[in-house]
Amino acid sequence: MLWIQRLFVFLISGTIVNVWLFRSGQATLYRGGAAANLRDEFMVYGLNDTLFYLVGGLKLLAAVALLLGLVWKKTLLPAAYLIALLMIGALAMHFKVADPLLRSLPAATMLLLCYGVIQLEKKQG
């Protein structure tokens, strides 16, 4: 089961880094509303630049903490819970602007992976 948890950690962290550092300026099928990039997506949701930077910083920090949690277990659960909370927020924003379900798929997947990390960590206790 440890390898599954590690796989989930790498998928979550890698996705967050990819979205926030490498693809933030690009349009994707999953952007809310008619947003052409990540910053525009926050504007579609009615969120300002401060929240854009706060959420991005929290997600990147949590992604690093999640990776560190593979070695230093104290950071694993807090990071997984934080990312899960942020994904719930992302799902709420997609719902707020009445996006098609497809656009919520990445956030829902990340939430499920976080749930898996949390449950597997609790089993290993």
Whole-number Å distance between alpha carbons of 50 and 97: 20
What's residue 107's pLDDT? 98
First to last CA, the chain: 13
One-letter amino acid for residue 12 of the chain: I
Distances (CA, A) of 114 to 62, 69, 94: 11, 13, 19
Tens of pLDDT along 62-115?
A: 999 999 999 999 999 999 999 999 999 999 999 999 999 999 999 999 999 999
Query: pLDDT digit string (tens) for 35-71?
Result: 999 999 999 999 999 999 999 999 999 999 999 999 9
Asked if the model's pLDDT at residue 7 lies above 80, the reply is: yes
The pLDDT value given to residue 75? 98
Find the largest Cα–Cα distance for the chain: 44
Round to whole Å and give the CA distance between 122 and 96: 33
pTM confidence score: 0.95
Return the pLDDT at 23: 96
Residue 1 has pLDDT above 90, yes or no: no
DSSP string, 8-63: HHHHHHHHHHIIIIISTTS--TTSSTT-SSHHHHHHHTT--HHHHHHHHHHHHHHH
pLDDT tens across 16-38, in order?
999 999 999 999 999 999 999 99
Q: Cα 109 to chain center, whole Å?
A: 9
